């Protein structure tokens, strides 16, 4: 993009860039992207400072809270995640939900910069290393979840999540009718992520402090 394309009076088609199919002012997006990078670094450091014992204790509170928040799980198709970078570890709860009759699903990257698919997970399922070396079910037909449990790095007051920055969840959630529940640690609250047109808000969240949040529909 030429340096003066966004000068006053320039044709509108040169004043915006298409990001995720949405027209976005490039200067605004540069500012937002810079802010999000700084917040990610700060939040990663705060998460690391919790230490192993703190991470385990908060993960346990999240799992207990999910059990109370979600009610009966039998027959539900629930997308979860395999923990990376000290994310909440829900694997014990995943196994309990499987025993309770839920179809537990894990996300799989099948194409870079595309929506995720979800495959059935059970404690004894064969796993392989997927994108970023994250364990995923080795085989299985794609299944559409009716509930997505999404990991939070940051969370604002309107229910928008700050993730790892790959954009996979937002691309995926845009095409789903599923309820979205975020899970994150007690220090993940921020005032705003400065949501962009492609950001998808959640309906509820469960934090490692034991706090449960609900967000009004926009």
pTM, rounded to two decimals: 0.86
Residue 9 — very low, low, confident or very high, per pLDDT cuts 50/70/90? very low
Domains and CATH numbers, the chain: 22-214 (3.40.50.10420)
Residue 20 — very low, low, confident or very high, per pLDDT cuts 50/70/90? low
The answer, yes or no, to whether residue 7 has pLDDT greater than 60, is no
Residue 95 — very low, low, confident or very high, per pLDDT cuts 50/70/90? very high
Distance between CA 99 and CA 143 in Å, rounded? 19
The answer, yes or no, to whether residue 15 has pLDDT greater than 60, is no
Between 20 and 159, whose confidence is greater? 159
Could you tell me which of 44, 51, 45 has the C-alpha nearest to residue 151? 44
E strands of 14-116, at which residues? Answer: 17-19, 22-24, 77-79, 103-108
The answer, yes or no, to whether residue 93 has pLDDT greater than 60, is yes
Q: What is the mean pLDDT of residues 57-76?
A: 96
- The predicted-structure confidence for 108-118, as pLDDT tens digits, reads as follows 999 888 899 99
Distance between CA 121 and CA 80 in Å, rounded? 9
The answer, yes or no, to whether residue 8 has pLDDT greater than 70, is no
- The predicted-structure confidence for 120-148, as pLDDT tens digits, reads as follows 999 999 999 988 889 999 999 999 999 99
């Amino acid at each position: 993009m030429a340096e003066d394309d966004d000068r006053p009076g320039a044709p509108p088609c040169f004043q915006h860039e298409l990001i995720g199919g949405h027209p976005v002012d490039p200067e605004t997006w540069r500012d937002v992207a810079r802010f999000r990078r700084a917040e990610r670094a700060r939040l990663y450091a705060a998460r690391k400072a919790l230490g192993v014992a703190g991470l385990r204790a908060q993960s346990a509170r999240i799992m207990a809270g999910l059990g109370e928040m979600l009610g009966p799980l039998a027959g539900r198709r629930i997308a979860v995640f395999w923990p990376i970078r000290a994310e909440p570890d829900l694997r014990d709860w995943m196994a309990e939900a499987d025993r309770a009759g839920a179809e537990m699903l894990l996300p799989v990257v099948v194409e870079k910069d595309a929506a995720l698919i979800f495959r059935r997970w059970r404690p004894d399922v064969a796993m392989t290393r997927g994108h970023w070396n994250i364990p995923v079910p080795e085989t299985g037909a794609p299944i559409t979840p009716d509930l997505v449990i999404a990991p939070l790095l940051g969370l604002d007051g309107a229910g928008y999540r700050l993730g790892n920055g790959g954009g996979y969840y937002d691309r995926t959630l845009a095409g789903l009718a599923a309820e979205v529940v975020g899970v994150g640690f007690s220090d993940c609250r921020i005032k705003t992520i400065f949501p962009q047109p492609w950001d998808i808000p959640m309906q509820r969240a469960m934090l490692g402090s034991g706090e449960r949040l609900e967000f009004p529909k926009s």
